[in-house]
Chains A and B, each alone.
Chain A
Amino acid sequence: MTENKNPYLPDLATVIKVIDETPNIKSYQVILNDPEKMKTFFYEPGQVGQLSVFGVGESTFVINSPPTRMDYLQFSVMRVGEVTSVIHELHEGDQIGVRAPLGNWFPYEEMKGKKILFIGGGIGLAPLRTLILFMLDNRADYGDITILYGSRTPPDLCYKDDLKEWESRSDVSLILTVDTEYPGWDKRTGFVPTVLNEIAPSPEDTIAITCGPPIMIKFVLQNLAKLNFKDENIITTLEARMKCGIGICGRCNIGSKYICKDGPVFSLAQLKEYRAEI
């Protein structure tokens, strides 16, 4: 965020496209109304933004389109509360507020030359998507890319077009799972942490990046440890109720760190150092 700018004042933006991802998740492609700001807008994969509906409030979402594709900013919104319910009523052309970019980002430079294992659950694929697309746009910089992604049922899988593309690529290994059997589903069933154990990826020279519901993250971290992944090679992004987005309002702290400012991206080694309870 630029110095001396009022950090609470959103930039006005226009919704240019709404995509129905799942029965309760929609993606919004937005552009800032000020063309100069849109042209110079800079962010890193994994950074978040606050979306505003004026009169209702703000909520935090990851910018899940990568900076390598800067025609618009994409946010995916699961309908869970007051603000997200109103966002779900928005249409193309509607005005919203954007405060972005906020927070830190994936250490993609340090991941160069390594094998990458993405482990996502439900809407947790949103931040991973940013990095996946970023890595695919810089494919030569990274080794094998494996994506393990699960949701409750097949209709709950996000980014179905992306999944199709990743499935068809020879340089990406995509493993999909849903919690239980479902009519017409011929791929894996079982919870993400369980499937992770089944596929048992090697920790050798591999960075694991995970995001999903808190309970999934908890067991994925345990299982990665069992697979001998080192804490510093396990990356996760955390969520929290956020208001200010600049590390002041006091909601999203883990010890002396704030998820909105020092996060949302942390390594397991950092989380242990901060004594995070996950």
Chain B
Amino acid sequence: MADTGFVQKEKLEEFLRELSKDAVVYAPCLEGDTVIFKTFDPGTTLCLDRPANNPPKLAVFPQSETLFSFKYKKDAEDPRKMSVELEANTDFPRAIIFGARPCDAKGFRIYDRVYMDTNTPDPYYQGRREKTMIATLCCSAPSPGCFCVAVGGGPAHREGSDVLITQFEKGYFIEPVTEKGKTILNAPQIEDGAQYAEEAHKRQLESHDLVRNPFAEDGLPKISRSLFDLDEFWEHVVSKCLSCGACTYLCPTCYCFNITDEQSLDIGERIRSWDGCMFPHFTLEGSGHNPRPTKFKRFKNRVGHKFLYYPEKYNGVIACCGCGRCIRHCPVSVDISEIVSYLRGSRFEFTNEPPESIGTDTNS
């Protein structure tokens, strides 16, 4: 088998259909004007021209999934008594994420440390993750808001990818990164890619300079702790945030969730669903006490989690992959890269007098 492969552009869909034979394939598909990562089926229109609006995290961490089902049973001899049976399934089918971006692939590594590399691994995440191959498409042109290079990534970064794909006019150069990735070369649509290798690597190197670095520095951004701990700073910079939570749902590295029960008659399920730290009810306790009662405290926690708390736990790794989705899709244009720039202390002139238009924060 050759070390690398190439798929002609016109054979791409056939190639994906081939992959679909023994794996669930997720790919970026066009829905109206929107590019959505979803399961690839015949009839879906692929779109590899720009990063999908949503990250592929749903392939490994579904928006909603069953943790276990339960069944109540009446005692035959004493109908007032009930017993309960629980059933959990952590066996999942093979999956391929095709056309993720390097930022998306890096996002899975940020999940891995929390969900797998621990003495209490999450069996649902791990069950899916170990059976998922990530085939990543190098970025040739950044989208508005992208800043992967500023958080340790890049448009051809390999971290988290099993396969790296470089786009050519005629088709796609396919380069396995891991052992798992090598199996992709078995598909009959694959030609030997050797002749494209040199040019692909040249393009990969060049692409790095295309992405903006809002922090304008080499290495990872360092946050000024005194600025970070200043409540007025947060009130000022997040005053326009709507607490809609879009940034968390569209983030390849956000992993907060909720657990709820659904029941109908004597059967039901315990369900895990995405949740977000930007929502006021996220930390609201039964007693009515809320340790993060205001919008600015929630926002501070979100930025703190990505740029201070996660790095503190995981050897300096930042829990942001710079995909820019939270910037592109924020309805009021809150820009996390701008906030982190401010927090470096270089661009923020804080006068201690927030503009009059910024009122006191509310609980909403």
- Which residues of B (265-297) have their CB < 8 Å from a CB of A? 268, 270, 272, 275, 277, 282-289, 291
Q: Is B47 part of the contact surface with A, judged by Cβ < 8 Å?
A: no
Interface centre among A12, A97, A243 (most CB of B within 10 A): A243
Report A71-108 CB contacts with B as 1/0, cut-off 8 Å. 00000001011111000000001110100000000000
Residue B305, interface by CB 8 Å: yes
What B residues does A59 contact at CB under 8 A? 286
A167–B162 Cα distance when bound, in Å, is 67
With A8-B67, A54-B84 known as contacts, the answer to whether A250 contacts B308 (CB < 8 A) is no
Q: Does A255 lie at the interface of the complex (its beta carbon under 8 Å from any beta carbon of B)?
A: yes
A231 to chain B, nearest CB (A): 19
CA A214 – CA B257 in complex, angstroms? 25
In the assembled complex, the Cα of A213 lies from the Cα of B285 at a distance in Å of: 12
Chain B facing A: main interface SS: mixed
Q: Which of A54, A78, A213 contacts B268 (CB 8 A)?
A: A54
B88–A9 CB distance below 8 A: yes
Q: Is the CB of B256 within 8 A of A251?
A: yes
Number of A residues near B (Cβ < 8 Å) is 45
For chain B, the bracket of interface size reads 35 or more
Contacts A8-B68, A255-B308; A243 near B115 (Cβ below 8 A):
no
Interface centre among A52, A81, A84, A256 (most CB of B within 10 A): A256
- A251 in contact with B282 (CB, 8 Å): yes
A44 interface residue, CB < 8 Å from B?
A: no
Q: B22-30, B309-317, B325-333: which one contacts chain A? A: B309-317
Bound-state CA distance A250–B275 (Å) is: 9
Residues 1-23 of A, flagged 1 when their CB comes within 8 A of B and 0 if not, give 10110111110100000000000
Contact present for A54 and B70 (CB under 8 Å): yes
A54-B70, A95-B83 are contacts. A80–B261 as well, Cβ < 8 Å?
no
B266's nearest neighbour on chain A, judged by CB, is A55
Q: Name the B residues within 8 Å of A277 (CB-CB).
A: 291
Q: Evaluate whether A249 and B309 lie within 8 angstroms (CB atoms) in the complex, with A8-B68, A12-B84, A54-B70 already known.
A: no
Residues of B within 8 A of A (CB): 67-68, 70, 72, 81-84, 86, 88, 90, 114-115, 118-124, 229, 255-263, 268, 270, 272, 275, 277, 282-289, 291, 301, 304-305, 308-310, 312-313
